[in-house]
Structure 1
Amino acid sequence: MRLHHSIMVGILDRYADRFTEFQPAVPLEQRIKQAAALEGAAGVELVYPADLQDRDQTAQLVADTGLAVSAVNLNVKSEQVWRDGSFTNPDVDVRRRAVESLQSAMDMAASLGTDLVTVCPLMDGWDYSFQVDYNAQWRWLIEGLREACAHRDDVRVSVEYKPFESRAHIVVPDVATTLHLCDRVGADNLGVTMDVGHALIAGETPAMSAVMAHDAGRLFYVHFNDNNRGWDWDMVPGSVNLWEMVETLFYLDRIGWEGWMAYDVFTKHGDPVAAFDATLRSMDSLVALLDQVGRDRMEHLIKNVSPAEATAELLATLVTH
């Protein structure tokens, strides 16, 4: 299995929570150069509009490194205008701006040589009972995405689901809801970004989530990271849920996934570039572990061996090597 590594350059920028700033702001040019210096990196994921204020300059910066653009990540959460939602904002003018932003991101993606825009609508949801009109909110989301997807059929729109943060409840909290949304929109170019960490905090089995999205023809993009299932900590893959990571890679390989693997990994302590390097090395090691166990053996464990025996055999693989 060959991994197509993509670096989310926004993660090399300033990082802070509501208490502490952990990493300072870094100019875009420096971040792109840092991404290009990482061994194994083949692409970058750019945030729109932040990383594309000057589209031509950014395109040249990326071209100079020889990297590809894996996706344009539409940010409809950070600006004040999105405070009450983007595609589901009660204000029709704000909803219009969200749709136009997605259409602009699609145009931007095409001009940068990628056919993919990923969007995580973290401000579209609610915190309290009776805070929003669920009927209206769901209808607005469908209508907005339908209009945006019709803008052009040569660029795919990939919805990244997440159960919570920044809202206590997000309108697309899990893979099933997101797939249902795709069906309701009815556009062939609408699909799913399966963030492994988001799947974990949603109580999902990431491998199953990937299989479901693929079966529907909607698995467009994959983000890898890890957490303790309590919060989206964006840790190095395999640092907590080792076998879930290997299982996800096994099933991605089994379904013939050849798309990008982008890494949503933040570091509070140490150098973010070094953390990304560790992430790429960890992913390669996870694939090596999968190779070590063997695909045929994995198939045998799934079909013919009890869960207890399978666990013992997998652990023995680590001990004997």
Structure 2
Amino acid sequence: MDIRFSAGVWAFDGCGDRFLLRGYRDGKLVAERLKEAASIPGLSGVELNYPADVTDANLDEVEEALKANKLQASIIGVDHTGQRKWQFGSLAAADPGIRREAVILAQRGMDVAARLGANQINIWLGQDGFDYCFQVDYQKAWRWLVESLKEIAGYRSDVRVCVEYKPKEPRTHAFINNAAKALLLVQEVGLDNIGVTIDVGHSLNAGENVAEALALLAGHGKMFHFHFNDNYRSWDDDLLVGSVHLVEYIELLYWLQKVGYDGWYSLDVFPYREDPVQVCRESIATLQGILNLVNRLGIPKLDELIAKGDAIATLSFIRQHILP
């Protein structure tokens, strides 16, 4: 199976945080970021946010830059978080006018995705949630989410809609905060072209075992897209792949091969103080190294060991291949 690696173009921008809003380095135009991404061996795709990175005004320019740098658009993220009007929600906002704007934005994002050849959009509902008890009507909010996503996914069947879950931030509680709830949501929408994005850091932050979350979604045919990074579970740090949870990454890549995931292996990293090219290069090298390790271990052999249920024997077998 050919593995396709991608990266979010935000990694090559200024990378600001709430303590240094202007970023830890100078920001760059999207064409410059695409050129930088193209310098990374093995990277053939990029994620772009609409309308943050790609806009109606620069769409032609971005399309030309992708071709010039021999890059594919892997997915188009629809930005439902970065404007003040979304502060009380987007697809689940109590204001029907805001919900309408959010739906139209996603539909326009689908058109952009089709134009750039990505044929899928990512929807992360960062502002759809709550901060206090008695702040929202949970049942109405859920119904609005289902109705909005059904309208979006039904807009065009040739573009997939990928819903990304996260437990918190920017709201203290996100409505779609784990894999099981994301699966329930897309099943209620009930259309073939809607599924789930797993972000490793979000899954870790949610207290999940990422491999188990993957297996659940893949078992229902709803594992659509994957973001790779790492963190210490307490926050969405977006660190270099495998820098913290190496053993869990080995299990995750075993399961990715086992379920036959054939989508993009996309990096969602935020290298605030590190060189973004080096972080992406090392992340890809780590993923390739773990994939090679899994191949050396052998899927059938790992299946056999798991079936025996002896965790120590299994971990010992793995350890002998990485720490002889």
Instruction: Give TM-score scaled by structure 1 length.
Output: 0.96
State the secondary structure of the residue aligned to 2:227.
strand
Match of 2:15 in 1: 15
Shift of 1:17: 1.7
Q: Structure 2: how far apart are the matches of 1:120 and 1:100? A: 15
- Structure 1 residue runs of 5 or longer lacking an equivalent are none
Give the superposition deviation at 1:3: 2.0
RMSD across aligned C-alpha pairs, in angstroms? 1.2
Give 1:106's aligned residue. Answer: 110
What does residue 145 of structure 2 align with?
141
In the TM superposition, what are the counterparts of 1:69-108 in structure 2 within 5 Å? 69-108=73-112
TM-fit CA distance, 1:305? 5.0
Q: How many residues align?
A: 320
- 1:78 positional shift: 0.7
Counterpart CA distance in 1 for 2:189 and 2:78 is: 19
Matched with 2:181 is 177
8 Å CA contact 2:242–2:283 kept in 1: the answer is no
State whether residues 162 and 170 of structure 1, in contact with CA within 8 Å, keep that contact through their aligned partners in structure 2.
yes
Write the mapping of 1:113-192 to structure 2, written as runs, cut at 5 A: 113-192=117-196
Task: Quote the offset at 1:228 in angstroms.
Answer: 1.2
- The one-letter amino acid of 1:247's match is E
Unaligned residue ranges in structure 2 (runs of 5+)? none
- One-letter identity of the residue aligned with 2:86: W
Correspondence for 2:305: 301
1:1-321 → structure 2 map (5 Å cutoff): 2-20=2-20, 21-53=23-55, 54-304=58-308, 306-320=310-324
Structure 2: how far apart are the matches of 1:297 and 1:200? 27
1:70 is paired with a residue whose SS is strand
Checking the alignment, whether the CA contact within 8 Å between 1:236 and 1:282 is kept in structure 2 is no
> What is the Cα deviation at residue 207 of structure 1?
1.0
Identity %: 37
CA separation of 1:298 and 1:89: change in aligned 2, threshold 3 A? same
Runs of 4+ off more than 6 Å: none
SS at the partner of 1:15? coil
> Secondary structure at 2:142's aligned position in 1?
helix
Aligned to 2:53, the other structure's residue is in SS state: helix
Distance 1:208 1:89, change over 3 A: same
Which whole-Å CA distance do the structure 2 matches of 1:291 and 1:106 have between them?
A: 36
